[in-house]
Each structure stands twice: as structure tokens, then as C-alpha cells.
Amino acid sequence: MVSVGRLPLDEQLAAFTTALTRNEVLTEVIERTAALQLPDWYLTAGCLFQTVWNVATGRAPTSGIKDYDIFYFDAGDLSWEAEDRVIKAAEETFAGLAADVEIRNEARVHLWYEKKFGVACAPYSSTEAAIDSFAATTCCLGVRREPDGRWRVYAPHGLSDVFNLVLRPNPVLAPREVYETKAARWQELWPELTVLDWPE
């Protein structure tokens, strides 16, 4: 049997969205986020590829998933107060959901990133640009459902590594320590994972 990671891209995409629908928490997060009508939003990062890893390895779809990250992009108001209003609205929207949901305006990341991670971050031009800068290429994913029900999937590095349980470094912004810390935690939860070394 051919592994999903070796299938044509359209078939990988179909398998990807099918796997995501197995995670009922994830689909509920997508549905509730759409109601917030945020600009240029995506559900992104761990909850996506970890759902696929769980489905691929026969685990419960939500197993090991720490939180659900939502990125949006609003450069019209870079104040903390504007982002905080969205965060508070999201708290109401996700009330009663058995999951931690984190929501952030990616237009503001450059204002706090260096203090948190020790390296400067140039302002992003879009949500997609923010997704591009994750510490691993495997993490560079974003999805949402369009009003007509179609999946919008952003996957600049494709989906093969996701299906093949390969974690590949993406040394464009995040420090090496961030990648290695995440990789160690994920490999404990998914020992089938192949972790590629950070380039010297």
C-alpha cells in the first residue's frame, strides 16, 4: 500500500482534510472561529499536524494536543487593547469547549517577539507570512472553512512530512532551542516521529 505522503498532492489534500474532520474539537473550533469574522484568519500549527499524526498512528484524534492556535491579521490597529478585545470575544465564543484556544493578531508579533524569544522579528505582511516562520516546516500549516464550505489550506512546504511523521527544521526565525524543545516533547508523545537535526 502506498503511503499517503507519496500520493499526488490532490489526494494528500483530501486525506488531510478527512483526518482533520476526525477531530471533533478541531472542527468545532473552526466553526466557532468563523463566527468571529476575523480578518485573514487560520487555525494553525500543532493541532493540525498532531491530529494527522494521531489518525495515522491509530490514536484518539485529540491525543496529546495541547491547544488550538488561531492567527489573524489586522494591521489597522496594533494596540494591545484591540487585540485584547478580540481575545475576550474569543473567550466567550469558545466557552464550554473542552480545549485551550489561543488567538493572536500576527500584525503585532514584531512588537513582543524579541523580548520573548531573544531574536528580532520583522513585521509580518500577512497571516501566511507568520505561518512561514514556525520553527519546523512540518508546522507551517493553516486551515479554515470558507463560507461555501470549502477548505482553505495553506501548506507552503506540502503535506508529505506531515503524513510521514517527519519533523524538519525551518531555521528562518525561531531559535534552535525552540525547535529542539518542541521536538523533544513531541517525540515523547509520538515516538514514531522522525526528528531531523537543526542545520549547523
| Separation between Cα atoms, residue 10 and residue 121, nearest integer Å | 34
Q: Which residues of the chain have pLDDT under 50?
A: 1-2
Residue 164 lies in a domain: yes
Nine cell digits for residue 126: 500577512
CA distance 159 to 49: 9
Spatial contact of 101 and 72, defined as CB atoms under 8 Å apart: no
- Tell me, what's the pLDDT at 2? 42
Domain count, the chain: 1
**Domain containing residue 95:** 4-191
Residue 197, domain member (yes or no)? no
> Does residue 196 lie within any of the structural domains?
no
Domain assignment present for residue 123? The answer is yes
CB 142 within 8 A of CB 159: no
pLDDT of residue 117: 85
| Residue 32 domain-assigned (yes or no) | yes
Residue 101, amino acid: V
Say if 95 falls within a structural domain. Answer: yes
Q: In the prediction, which pLDDT does 200 show? A: 84
Domain-embedded: residue 200: no
Q: Which residue matches cell numbers 525552540?
A: 178
- Asked if residue 167 belongs to a domain, the reply is yes
Element (H, E) at 101: strand 101-105
